[in-house]
A and B are shown apart, each in its own frame.
Chain A
Amino acid sequence: MNGSFTIPKFRLPAFVASLGQKLPQWPHALALVAGLNAALKMKLLPESELALLEDKLFRVRVLDTGGEASYTYANGLFRPVFRPQREPDLAFAANLSAYLQLLSRQEDPDTLFFSRELEITGDTELGLIVKNMLDAVEWPKFSARLPVFRH
């Protein structure tokens, strides 16, 4: 996104997480899903790989905010799953700073994974597909267009 700005590694104080866990989880899930669907609409995600995500359940956990979002991909759209009835096929867990570093392409997911800052559990191949899919996306000058960032 912005090459001149470096996101440092940080960890929010523990009380933030305990607060976060008490808040309703749906805003995160909605924001995440809105972002993914916007990327879909702009045809940024390759269709051959999207087909491999059909009906899979994903969970993203932000450790130091206590936030958590589950979502699935079906019939051409990402949808939030508010009360998952089963273990996710693929789950990510990391502190907020690691996610920001990932999204801005400042750090490599393998680097974060090997250094244990990013936890990935579940179906390894699915994880690789998602990683490679996001890596291959050519983000347009972005922040102004995605609804999540606009609000």
Chain B
Amino acid sequence: MTSLPDLVCPAGSLPALKAAVDNGADAVYLGFKNDTNARNFAGLNFDQKTMADGIRYAHAKGREILLAINTFPQAGRVADWHKAVDAAVDQGVDAIILADIGLLDYARNRHPQQRLHLSVQGSATSYEAINFCQREFDIRRAVLPRVLTLAQVENVIRNTTVEIEVFGFGSLCVMNEGRCWLSSYACGESPNTVGACSPAKYVKWDKKPGAMETRLNGVLIDRFGDDEPAGYPTLCKGRFEVQGETYYALEEPTSLNVLEILPEIIKIGVRAIKVEGRQRSPAYVTQVTRTLRAALDSLRDGSERFHVKPAWQAELAKVSEGSQATLGAYNRPWR
């Protein structure tokens, strides 16, 4: 019998957290209501009380709460990030997901017992980097950036005792992992500085006859015909004119979806599968969690005959940005 990887689901609110737990997430990841996490949007995330309620709810059902403090401390305000780490420990989260090496050091020294995970924003793509973080900060798990092929993921797993978590579903943000400044180019703010890519206050949706235009701080990002699915105007997913041709010059607005290669992911020893989308609604969390739960459960007994049910794909396709799915880097022929 193969043991299944944990299903790690996002929550930006208490109802989303409950939806994740009720639909079969093994762990739920959250953030505080401030810029110590990379989904710092108005009205989203947890304060002390909602987090305490959420932790109680999850623990009562035997699930874990992981807290993301995955932005980089800004000059002069390092204390805010330290406070977030202390608060997370006080709240009793099961693990803290950190990206910054200085913060890892702080958390490890100040709270020697706290379980720490290395965030995808930490940008560790090699086992050397991961083993370094294990040696120095005793991290238990690392989340791999979405840039590795399946064979590369397997190579990392073979060469480390740190648990490996990979992305399984959600909007693609390659972020160069952890170093994308595209958003700053248009509006002076990026995920690693203010905790949000393309913050809503710079976004304008303009309905014109026959088309909708989206702008980021005045920069035209895309134009959608009336029947075309729309996407959020992040610079990487815009259509730009390059040498006389207008197309998705950086990235297609697709979602990552690993259903098809789930058996391989389990076989190579991935310890946890993560779903993107703390900014999405409880309805999204419900749909994605229950679909991935069903798919994972169908593999519970190391079943050789894994079939991706069309209903699963339909459910996931519906909630995808751009309504297109891809295996991302996992099956890319080049490295």
A interface list, Cβ under 8 A from B:
46, 49, 52, 105-111, 113-116, 119-121, 124-125, 127-133, 135-138
* Nearest neighbor of A109 in chain B, beta-carbon distance: B281
Cβ B230 vs Cβ A116 within 8 A: yes
* Docked pose: A130 CA to B281 CA in angstroms: 12
Are B281 and A131 in touch, CB under 8 angstroms? yes
Q: A114-B322, A132-B13 are in contact. Are A106 and B231 (CB under 8 A)?
A: no
Assess whether B204 is in contact with A132, with CB atoms less than 8 Å apart: no
What 1/0 flags go to B277-307 for Cβ under 8 Å of A?
0001111101100000000000000000000
The answer to whether B15 touches A111 (Cβ under 8 A) is no
**A111, B13: Cβ atoms under 8 Å?**
no
Candidates A113, A128, A136; contact of B13 at CB < 8 Å: A136
Query: Chain B's nearest CB lies how many Å from the CB of A29?
Result: 23
In contact, A49 and B43 (Cβ under 8 angstroms): yes
Q: Are B204 and A108 in contact (CB under 8 A)?
A: no
In angstroms, Cα B285 to Cα A105, docked, is 11
Q: Known contacts A110-B281, A113-B230, A114-B229; is A135 also within 8 Å of B16 by CB?
A: yes
5 contacts between A and B (CB under 8 A): A106-B283, A115-B323, A116-B230, A121-B205, A136-B13
> When the two chains form the complex, which single residue of A106, A115, A132 contacts B12, counting CB atoms closer than 8 Å?
A132
Interchain CB contact under 8 A, B284 and A110: yes
- Please determine whether A128 and B42 come into contact, CB atoms closer than 8 angstroms: yes
In the bound complex, CA of A133 to CA of B318 (Å): 23
Establish whether residues B205 and A120, one from each chain, have CB atoms under 8 Å apart when the complex forms.
yes
Asked if B283 and A119 make an inter-chain contact with CB atoms under 8 angstroms apart, the answer reads no
Q: Scan B109-130; emit 1 where CB is below 8 A from any A CB, else 0.
A: 0000000000000000000000
Give the interface size class of chain B: 35 or more
**Bound-complex Cα distance A111 to B207 (A):** 18
Residues of B contacting A119 with CB < 8 Å?
Answer: 207
Q: In the bound complex, do residue A108 and residue B281 qualify as a contact, i.e. CB atoms below 8 Å apart?
A: yes
A110 surroundings in chain B (CB, below 8 A): 280-281, 284, 319, 321
Could you tell me the distance in whole angstroms from the C-beta of B115 to the nearest C-beta in chain A? 27
- Distance A91 CA – B199 CA, assembled complex (angstroms): 19
Distance, CA A34 to CA B319, complexed state (A): 32
> Are A105 and B281 in contact, with the CB atoms below 8 A?
yes
When C-beta atoms are compared, the residue in chain B nearest to A113 turns out to be B230
Residues of B within 8 A of A135 (CB): 12-13, 15-16, 43, 281-282
Measured CA separation A49–B283 after assembly (Å): 21
Are A137 and B15 neighbours in the complex by a CB distance under 8 Å?
yes
Contacts of B319 in A (CB 8 A): 108, 110-111
Contact partner of B201 (CB less than 8 A), chosen from A46, A108, A125, A137, is A125
Q: Are B15 and A125 in contact (CB under 8 A)?
A: no
